[in-house]
Amino acid sequence: MDIAVPIVAHNAAAARGDREAAEAHFRKAHGNLVRSMKIPDPARPVDRELARAAAKKVPGVRSTVWFDQHNFFVIVESNELKSQQTIDAICHQLDPLGDTLGVVVNVQSGAATNGDDLQILSRDCQLAPGDRAFMQRERQVDVVSPAIRAQHKANNGR
């Protein structure tokens, strides 16, 4: 997000003596700066119970639960539904409920028959896979960590 444009507009409005416009441009610049720093809006938290109900509207979502204030866990009906597209659909349902920056959707297949299928797919609603909001640590939600799973596969391959 660009913060230079609202700052220039703020300065121009201030030079003209247009206080309302200057304040509006300053708020826009501040909002863009906060977003670029990946800081969720504390004034717009996602309501957890409404989020659970909204996520169940996504086809294939079987059950939902919040692990903590940031991590939303979803079980889907099939391995194919454990995807970035499902995370996108869930996040789309959560968008009207508040600021989804900082909401990490964790998806697991309810039809898993092996360890690979059981692995959880996670992503913040507004960020790229692996990226987290400001001051948010990555939470290990898989029972078996990816490092241990990789070591197990390496050992069994010999």
Instruction: Report which residue type is found at 88.
Output: D
Averaged over successive runs of 10 residues, the pLDDT of the chain (158 residues) comes to 78 88 83 82 93 98 95 97 98 97 96 90 93 82 78 77
Cβ-contact 108, 118 below 8 angstroms: yes
In this prediction, residue 144 carries a pLDDT of: 75
Distance between CA atoms of 51 and 65, rounded to whole angstroms?
9
Distance between CA atoms of 114 and 112, rounded to whole angstroms?
6
In this prediction, residue 56 carries a pLDDT of: 97
Distance between CA atoms of 158 and 151, rounded to whole angstroms?
11
In this prediction, residue 1 carries a pLDDT of: 52
In this prediction, residue 91 carries a pLDDT of: 98
In this prediction, residue 44 carries a pLDDT of: 92
Instruction: Report which residue type is found at 146.
Output: P
In this prediction, residue 158 carries a pLDDT of: 57
In this prediction, residue 46 carries a pLDDT of: 96
For Cα atoms 99, 50, 44, give the angle at the middle one, nearest 5 degrees. Answer: 25
Distance between CA atoms of 11 and 16, rounded to whole angstroms?
9
Cβ-contact 113, 150 below 8 angstroms: no
In this prediction the pTM is 0.80
Distance between CA atoms of 32 and 23, rounded to whole angstroms?
14
